[in-house]
Structure 1
Amino acid sequence: MTLDQYRSTADKLLKPFVSVADSLGLSPNGVSVIAFGFAVAAGVAFYLGTPLWYGLGALFVFWNGWLDLVDGALARKQNVASDGGDLLDHVLDRYADIVILAGMAAGIGNYALGLAAVTGVLMTSYLGTQIQAVGLGRAYGGLLGRADRLALVGFAGFLTALFPGDLVAGLGLIGLLLVLFTIVGHLTALQRFWGAWSDLE
């Protein structure tokens, strides 16, 4: 995980957005839903797969990630942080991951690669919460956190809009990114499993 280390810096940049959301009467849950809407828009954009749509998809991914930070900061500002809000945020984040990756895979017509990437990402998240469920605390270890994945998807979308076409083994930048998510996701899940298994013995 890399970008998550800069959360305190991001919190400072969030203040104007949090103030605007608060002044508009938005709730943290409402912001979470809006963030998910941007994820759906990104998935559709990547599915359409033209340079223009890839560029727009990258912007939608940025707003999904940014608003995913705003909702938590808004909850703290309004003093309404709750387990229910945390649950909704996590559920929508997982659906957002699915929609974005599915759109990327459908856009390049490689559904098998999309399935491999989605399961890698979801198993990483599942192992984190399952380890917590057995009393070992929430596991966040791994090479790529959600913020890192969203940043990579955004950059890949912009670069694909500028430089479409295949790069390696018939795969363009989007396809190669799905390969990365597949490998890193499953390795991280196995890493978390092995670490928890060792702690339980």
Structure 2
Amino acid sequence: MVVPVEPTLEQSSIDVELHRRLVYGDESALREAYAAYGALVRRVAVRVTRSQAAAEDVAQEVFAQLWTSPYGFDARRGSLRTWLSMLAHRRAVDWVRREARHRKDTHADDSELHAIPDAGPGPHETVVDRERSLLLHTALAELPRTQREVVHLAYFAGRTYRQAAVELGIPEGTAKTRLRSALRKLAESLADPPDPAAARGA
């Protein structure tokens, strides 16, 4: 379900006031931010990590950073929703990378794992799914910030490009162009590398 978009100026003023209270150490401001954006942060994290438990950990990290380093958010550069979404995405990608390193180290230390037959759908498919997810979300993290913002609003917050334009305070055409450019770059980043033999005409 698409959540209605609030007017840009009104949302901006709310973000500014919330940010001011966070800077002054108002714990109620943190609770309000969590109530408003906690579900979004967890949704972003679940899509990247494929794990509810990991999503909860990521959410804790994200709001801990908002509390301890509120100056990281700048209301002049976008909404708090978008900033928290991108922060959650970055933290979730870091989690998947840590898991991949841990899994690699564990498999290297335990040779008996290689003798276990593949029983079909199960942990192996989960590993492959997470690896594909890591590739996708790493590519997303490498997009320019302006393109990442539109993708996050469209993909994670369920916005249309028109609604994203309103929230970001940019023309609809600009939002549409940024979204198309981002999707094209993601497709190029995730495309299979060319076959050297085919390139030589073999």
Same fold flag (TM > 0.5): no
TM-score (norm 1): 0.34
Q: Which has the larger radius of gyration?
A: 2
| TM-score of the pair, normalised by structure 2 | 0.33
